Chain A
């Protein structure tokens, strides 16, 4: 079974630009979560989507947005890029979502975004 894939793997942008990152979950998984990882802040939760609906959102400004398609693939968008947005963006998929029950997440390799 193919794992979580993320494209592109590496990206260089300049301040003020916008960027779209893509995530394809494991087949059969309906939940996709996004995380930002930086050396200073560690792994921080961005948002979670399940069946095309955003279930939860982390404490990030409105410049960060996402969506999920009917085939469970997800995209996240960052507008008006700032230097501090340079990070590894990780996507994770799971079969379901929710606080109860077993809900293992499988992570992709990440997209490394550099903002100059």
Chain B
């Protein structure tokens, strides 16, 4: 199964860029990488997605390595409201959606 590996937790100072890594070494050629975040007790919120090229939207940037085996989500100017669990997701070979444990991001004032 295509799986993702993320660090369990990270700290980032408020106002600095938060860089969240994700390893997805078994990703196949037509699978997208999605990033979601979940703020305590709420449903996950979509952040960004990508296939091969780097992507940017109003929330974040996504950097995907050329071999597509890993990616990094960048929150350019982290605020306290960015404190959440961040999930990196790819669609598995058997088509199941696997969230993994995610990274708990703590923004430090």
Contact = CB atoms under 8 A, between A and B. Distances in A.
A110 B43 contact: yes
Interface in A64-116: 88, 90, 92, 98-110
Given A102-B32, A108-B43, A45 B99 contact: yes
Contacts of A108: 43
Given A88-B41, A99-B91, A100-B30, A45 B96 contact: yes
A18 B31 CA distance: 37
Majority SS of interface residues in chain B?
loop
B94 A56 contact: yes
B49 A42 contact: no
Interface string B9-42: 0000000000000000000101110101010011
A4 B46 CA distance: 13
Interface residues of B, number: 26
Given A99-B30, A99-B31, A110-B43, A35 B49 contact: no
A55 B43 contact: no
Contacts of B42: 109-110
Contacts of B95: 55-56, 98-99
B32 A44 contact: no
Nearest to B50: A102
6 contacts: A42-B101, A45-B99, A90-B44, A102-B49, A107-B45, A110-B43
Interface of B: 28, 30-32, 34, 36, 38, 41-46, 49, 87, 91, 93-102
